[in-house]
């Protein structure tokens, strides 16, 4: 990769200007970003024939991307159309305990509440339920999670932004799976589906034929925003590419535990159809594999 993928660029993409201290909040802009988010139960196609009994935000897994510029106030009208108390909780950005979504800031069944966050730190952070029957565990397993993207106004401009949420499914929530025994059949195009079939997903989808297909062209500055949510440790690996960590180490594979996240850039210079996936073999065989296509 070119030199502008080195440390200064990656740090700038994640936190803004390299001169800014990581714990220095951006000043409030006085601007509010408003979102209407509804929690419902619905069927979700993890892959063709793999139908999941989901609970999610705005009818999708993951929920909608919540975006703001650093310094904005995020105002969420959260409507709970399920039979259990639910909430929306996030990381890093500032809020008081009334907007935490754990003991306070919980939407009772059939009611709407307002949640407010001050997005004074830039980066990519998860949001998720924290009020289910077992805290966040059952809500996250059902599909109640998403990405909060806070753009740094002093970061380099990106041409392409890709958000990827790695998550783990609860096999007991499937209404149906393809008509073959789990763990015994090869997929199309020579892919091998392992014993963990449909357990591990990328943006709520499994395998090349259904996972998000990302695209860029040579010369684009591509920003990746990667989050992991659920119960497993995963990695994120892109074939044919590399980026630089905060300590200056060059890598093409990062490890993410539950509830962790990373943001990095590269300037694209390698055309082709590339695989991206979790490098835990059973997780890849269980669905965590997709395609990144780069045109000349």
CA pair distance 211, 191, nearest whole angstrom: 14
State the pLDDT at residue 26: 97
The model's confidence at residue 8, banded by pLDDT at 50, 70 and 90, is very low
What pTM value is reported for the model? 0.89
Q: Are 89 and 102 in contact (CB under 8 A)?
A: yes
State the pLDDT at residue 83: 95
Q: Give tens-digit pLDDT for 36-76.
A: 999 999 999 999 888 999 999 999 999 999 999 999 999 99
Structural domains present in the chain: 3-15+158-295 (2.60.40.420), 32-151 (2.60.40.420)
**Res 284 pLDDT > 50:** yes
The two three-digit tokens of residue 283, written as one number = 């997780």
Least confident residue range of 89-93, 97-101, 192-196, 231-235? 192-196
Going from the C-alpha of 232 to that of each of 143, 164, 193, 200, 222, the distances in angstroms are: 15, 16, 19, 9, 27
């Amino acid at each position: 990769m070119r030199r502008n993928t080195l440390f200064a660029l990656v740090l700038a993409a994640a936190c803004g200007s390299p001169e800014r201290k990581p714990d220095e909040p951006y000043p409030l802009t006085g601007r509010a970003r408003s979102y209407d988010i509804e929690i419902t139960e619905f069927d979700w196609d993890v892959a063709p024939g793999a139908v999941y009994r989901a609970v999610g935000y705005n009818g999708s897994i993951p929920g909608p991307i919540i975006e703001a510029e650093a310094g904005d106030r995020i105002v969420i009208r959260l409507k709970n159309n399920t039979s259990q108390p639910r909430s929306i909780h996030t990381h890093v950005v500032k809020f008081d305990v009334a907007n935490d979504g754990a003991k306070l800031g919980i939407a009772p069944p059939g009611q709407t509440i307002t949640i407010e966050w001050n997005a004074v730190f830039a980066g990519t952070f998860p949001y998720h339920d924290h009020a289910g029957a077992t805290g966040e565990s059952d809500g996250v397993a059902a599909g109640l999670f998403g990405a909060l993207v806070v753009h740094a106004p002093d970061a380099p401009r990106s041409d392409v932004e890709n958000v990827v949420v790695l998550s783990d499914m609860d096999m007991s929530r499937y209404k149906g799976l393809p008509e073959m025994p789990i763990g015994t059949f090869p997929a199309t195009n020579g892919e091998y589906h392992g014993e963990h079939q449909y357990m591990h997903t990328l943006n709520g989808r499994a395998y090349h034929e259904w996972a998000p297909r990302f695209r860029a062209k040579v010369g684009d500055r591509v920003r990746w925003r990667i989050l992991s949510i659920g119960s497993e440790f995963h990695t994120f690996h892109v074939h044919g590419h590399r980026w630089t960590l905060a300590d200056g180490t060059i890598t093409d594979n990062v490890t993410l535990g539950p509830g962790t996240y990373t943001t990095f850039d590269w300037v694209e210079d390698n055309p082709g159809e590339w695989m991206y996936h979790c490098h835990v073999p059973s997780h890849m065989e269980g669905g965590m594999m997709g395609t990144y296509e780069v045109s000349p």
